[in-house]
Amino acid sequence: MELSSYTFFLLFLFTIAGDTVCANGIRPTKLFVFGDSYSDTGNNPKSLASSWKTPYGVTFPGKPAGRYSDGRVLTDFLAKFMGIKSPLPYQWRKYGQNRMQHGVNFAYGGTGVFDTGNLEPNMSTQIGYLQGLVKANVYTKRDLGSSLALVTISGNDYGAYTSSGGSEQGLSSFISQVVNQIGINIKRIHDMGVPRVLVTTLQPIGCLPRETIFSSYQQCNESRNSASSFHNQLLQQVVTGLNSSTRGSTFLTLDLFTTFNTVLKNKGDFTGSVKFDTPLRPCCEATSSGAFCGSLDENGNKLYTVCNQPESRFFWDSVHPSQAGWRAVYLTLRSSLNRIYY
């Protein structure tokens, strides 16, 4: 009888705190997302972004919906793990205020830690959007206290660096600048009151189809992957340093580098997914130089082809995983996601 009363008392305490209790701890009830196309679910302008053009969204929801894939992306799978609906894209906040209870997605495809030249908000500006919502009393400190932040970095800063004439000799220094700014950004998110900040490591850039096309999709560019490894090494040092000044593991890395490599090496076979027979080849491929997935010529003819089974490819286009690819990543990472409980 005493044990039952004690258990009831604990449940009562958690209930009045407004948190959801799980076997692993307290489950976050809101997800705030910052980053780029690996997490964007519809922020980029319809008039400009390929994510709003056919054939994007062909698997889910069956039409273009602003995701850089044939279907669901990392944000959607993380929200599923949390037991909530995928957070509303920031640009649609005026039309879906009833969905803001699950959080907000501030990620914009093509953006980076710094400006990348695509005129969309960089990560510092995205974080400012959340601060604006707090200032407008859309979210309270208590709301932030029961939330999780996801920060994705897929390498747009490095693409902008290269396209603007950055040298190989200066790349290491620039990587350090990017990672240091990531540290500033994730600390800023935590200082606002978010208990857990989940930041992705950089995926193996040399395994993206835009790199492997030069070997007929047979092998990764290990030189590019070395740059990813260096980024990730510095990122881990930053995260470790930040955690040393907070109680517990406030800042957590989501290891996309290892996960991508594992799934690609095993062709997705061990995850229970459809096997990726040609893991480095994308489903949607451009058919002419300068074109990309979704491109049309002046007569409206397609300048791309789409495979018959998107679920059989890890990559959707030259940069982004397919829904099946993200699902394989999610299944591989799922056990480590228990760290989000606090």
**CA 331/CA 205 separation, integer angstroms:** 21
Q: Which of 19, 36, 37, 157 is catalytic?
A: 37
Catalytic annotation on 335? no
- For helices 156-163 and 171-191, give the axis angle rounded to 10 degrees: 140
285: β partners = 305
Q: Alpha-carbon Rg of the chain, whole angstroms?
A: 20
To the query of whether residue 191 is one of the catalytic residues in this protein, the response is: no
Judge contact between 34 and 106, C-beta under 8 A: yes
| Phi, then psi, of 319 in degrees rounded to 5 | -135, -35
What type of residue is 289? S
Q: How far is residue 288's CA from residue 301's CA, in Å, rounded to a whole number?
A: 12
Annotated catalytic residue 297: no
Angle at 76 between CA 70 and CA 78, to 5 degrees: 135
Residue labelled with tokens 């200066």:
170
**Catalytic site residue from 19, 76, 157, 317:** 317
In whole angstroms, give the CA distance from residue 216 to residue 291: 17
Catalytic residues: 37, 317, 320
